[in-house]
């Protein structure tokens, strides 16, 4: 036998003796406790026995940083978190237990946990009690000797080391606290009532918000958005709150999924399965955090679905009209080389006599210079021989539109289009009319569908306007411009009736 591959004999009893000596000398249990006191993931794994994702850890770090900051630097948080990804377990239960477990008795904490109903608040309280009563590590430090007394009720826990946890329904007045956690204070039913949304906001600012002021504490509002103008929208506009979104998965410009929220629980394949199983509006709202208001969204799920063609669908174009094929280009322009800039989008439509318009191509990039975009248009024109090219001419895109119109190679086909509010109403109304009359076909494209379904007519500063209710609208506008390039137009008088019919 080759001595280099021989497995040495192991004296098991000797190994155990060494292990015991190591534990005695270094007190590894104390080391583990100290590690759990400074690391939320270690606490969850080694004491609670639950999994934590990197995104959970990131959000908890933000909360702790703010909680431990000087009063003048404290910042409350509005955290939008995908449904079914451990939101309540991590933010209401685990975080509260960790703070009470690691914070010394001479620095007593008061924490309130609020949710949309009494029953849900009670269930959170019950989970906390079960952990404290039956987990040896928690029991040793947190379970009071008189836990059957008033310090251990259906909505209140006083821990052995002097910390308080209150579990309350959202609208109930409560004690002053260091940390207020509002967990899913909105319900699905609230999304359909402007009055309900207003009452939630009134309750938050009037009942909940004052509870942290005397202790100079912070608020954490965590949940899944239910409408584009819900409490999370208000918090995103408030300078005292830091707003952050954690969708279940991110989607690149080609519709591919990446960067899952909780890879320890969900694979990318599972997300694709969920997306293909549930309604599009549910996927957008519950998983991508793009709430779609059925009463104001212009391009609803059924409408968009009716316009989608399959990749292998035959064109079914008679030979005698193929020679009349025309191709058109619509260009929504963003001029910036910065990393965080908006996207430029070019959409290509194909047209045959008496046939629906068909989207056959898309170019979608950001951080591209004016000259590079013009070269891309010229490249696409050499392939498609566009009959008409319509380029948005507004603000910083004005010089590019002018330059393209004067270019000797493509200038013959270029038309500049001013996307002022009146013109925008016309082209958006035209797009909706084309889709409703089954005169436009689009491919299955996740990013385009997402933009369509989060685009609507909303009120800004007392005025009605068309824009994205969440995310970008570059692809929607490019598609509108391509339809206009194809010669389809709606009188502005018809737009309002079109909207009202949605």
Radius of gyration of the chain (CA): 29
Percent of the chain at pLDDT above 70? 83
CA 292, CA 487: separation in Å to the nearest integer?
30
Give me the DSSP letters along 433-453: HHHHTT-EEEE--HHHHHHHH
Secondary structure element (H or E) that encloses residue 258, with its range: strand 257-258
Question: What is the per-residue pLDDT across 242-251, written as a single tens digit (0 to 9) for each?
Answer: 999 999 999 9
Residue 462 has pLDDT above 80, yes or no: no
CA 326, CA 485: separation in Å to the nearest integer?
11
pLDDT of residue 154: 82
**Token digits for 116?**
């949309």
CA 203, CA 140: separation in Å to the nearest integer?
38
- Beta-strand relationship, 218-223 and 179-183: parallel
Q: Give the CATH number of domain 301-500.
A: 3.30.420.240
335 vs 71, higher pLDDT: 71
148 vs 326, higher pLDDT: 326
Secondary structure element (H or E) that encloses residue 327, with its range: strand 326-332
pLDDT of residue 16: 39
Assign 10 a pLDDT band (cuts: 50, 70, 90). very low
CB contact at 8 A, 138 and 47: yes
Report angle CA 240, 243, 246 to the nearest 5 degrees: 160
Q: Average the pLDDT over 169-184 and give the result.
A: 93
**CATH 3.40.50.300 at 22-185+206-225+236-246, yes or no:** yes
* pTM: predicted TM-score of the whole model, two decimal places: 0.64
- Give the torsion sign (CA, 447, 453, 459, 464): positive
Percent of the chain at pLDDT above 90? 58
Assign 312 a pLDDT band (cuts: 50, 70, 90). low
3-state secondary structure of 362: strand
Assign 166 a pLDDT band (cuts: 50, 70, 90). very high
pLDDT of residue 498: 32
Residue 15 has pLDDT above 80, yes or no: no
DSSP one-letter code for 150 = T
Ordered by start, the domain boundaries in the chain are: 22-185+206-225+236-246, 301-500
Nearest Cα neighbor of 457 from 414, 419, 500 is 500
Assign 106 a pLDDT band (cuts: 50, 70, 90). very high
CB contact at 8 A, 159 and 91: no
In Å, how far are 101, 358, 465, 480 from 483, measured between CA atoms?
A: 62, 10, 20, 5
Residue 227 has pLDDT above 90, yes or no: no
Count CB-CB contacts under 10 A for residue 162.
Answer: 15
In Å, how far are 263, 300, 499 from 295, measured between CA atoms?
A: 35, 9, 10
For the chain, the average pLDDT equals: 85
CA 156, CA 161: separation in Å to the nearest integer?
15
pLDDT of residue 311: 63
């Amino acid at each position: 036998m080759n001595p280099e591959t021989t497995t040495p004999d192991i004296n098991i009893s000797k190994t155990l003796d060494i292990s015991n000596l190591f534990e005695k000398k270094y007190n590894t249990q104390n080391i583990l406790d100290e590690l759990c006191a400074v690391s939320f993931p270690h606490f969850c794994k080694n004491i609670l026995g639950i999994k934590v994702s990197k995104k959970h850890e990131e959000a908890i770090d933000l909360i702790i940083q703010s909680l431990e900051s000087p009063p003048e630097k404290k910042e409350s948080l509005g955290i939008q978190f995908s449904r079914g990804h451990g939101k309540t377990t991590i933010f209401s239960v685990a975080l509260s237990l960790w703070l009470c477990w690691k914070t010394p008795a001479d620095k007593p904490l008061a924490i309130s946990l609020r949710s949309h109903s009494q029953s849900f608040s009670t269930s959170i309280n019950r989970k906390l009690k079960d952990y404290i009563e039956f987990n040896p590590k928690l029991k040793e430090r947190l379970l009071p000797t008189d836990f059957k007394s008033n310090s251990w009720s259906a909505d209140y826990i006083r821990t052995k080391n002097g910390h308080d946890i209150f579990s309350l329904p959202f609208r109930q007045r409560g004690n002053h606290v260091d940390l207020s956690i509002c967990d899913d204070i909105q319900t699905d039913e609230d999304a359909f009532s402007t009055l309900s949304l207003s009452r939630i906001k009134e309750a938050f600012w009037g009942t909940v918000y004052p509870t942290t002021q005397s202790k100079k504490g912070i608020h954490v509002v965590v949940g899944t958005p239910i409408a584009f103008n819900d409490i999370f929208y208000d918090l995103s506009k408030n300078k005292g709150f830091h707003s952050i979104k954690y969708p279940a998965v991110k989607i690149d410009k080609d519709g591919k999924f990446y960067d899952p929220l909780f890879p320890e629980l969900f694979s990318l394949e599972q997300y694709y399965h969920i997306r293909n199983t549930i309604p599009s509006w549910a996927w957008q709202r519950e998983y991508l955090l793009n709430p779609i208001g059925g009463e104001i969204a212009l391009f609803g799920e059924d409408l968009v679905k009716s316009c989608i063609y399959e990749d292998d669908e035959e064109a079914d174009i008679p030979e005698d009209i193929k020679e009349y094929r025309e191709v058109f280009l619509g260009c929504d322009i963003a001029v910036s080389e910065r990393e965080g800039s908006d996207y430029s989008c070019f959409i290509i439509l194909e047209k045959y006599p008496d046939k629906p318009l068909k989207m056959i191509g898309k170019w979608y990039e950001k951080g591209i210079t004016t000259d590079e975009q013009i070269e891309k248009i010229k490249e696409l024109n050499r392939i498609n021989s566009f009959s008409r090219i319509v380029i948005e001419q507004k603000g910083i895109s004005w010089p590019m539109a002018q330059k393209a119109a004067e270019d000797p190679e493509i200038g013959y086909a270029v038309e500049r289009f001013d996307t002022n509010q009146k013109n925008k109403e016309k082209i958006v109304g035209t797009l909706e009319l084309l889709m409703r009359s089954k005169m436009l076909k689009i491919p299955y494209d996740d990013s385009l569908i997402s933009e369509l379904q989060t685009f609507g007519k909303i009120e800004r500063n007392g005025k009605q306007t068309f824009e994205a209710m969440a995310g970008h609208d570059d692809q929607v506008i490019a598609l509108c411009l391509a339809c206009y390039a194809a010669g389809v137009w709606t009188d502005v008088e018809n737009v309002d009736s079109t909207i009202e019919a949605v």
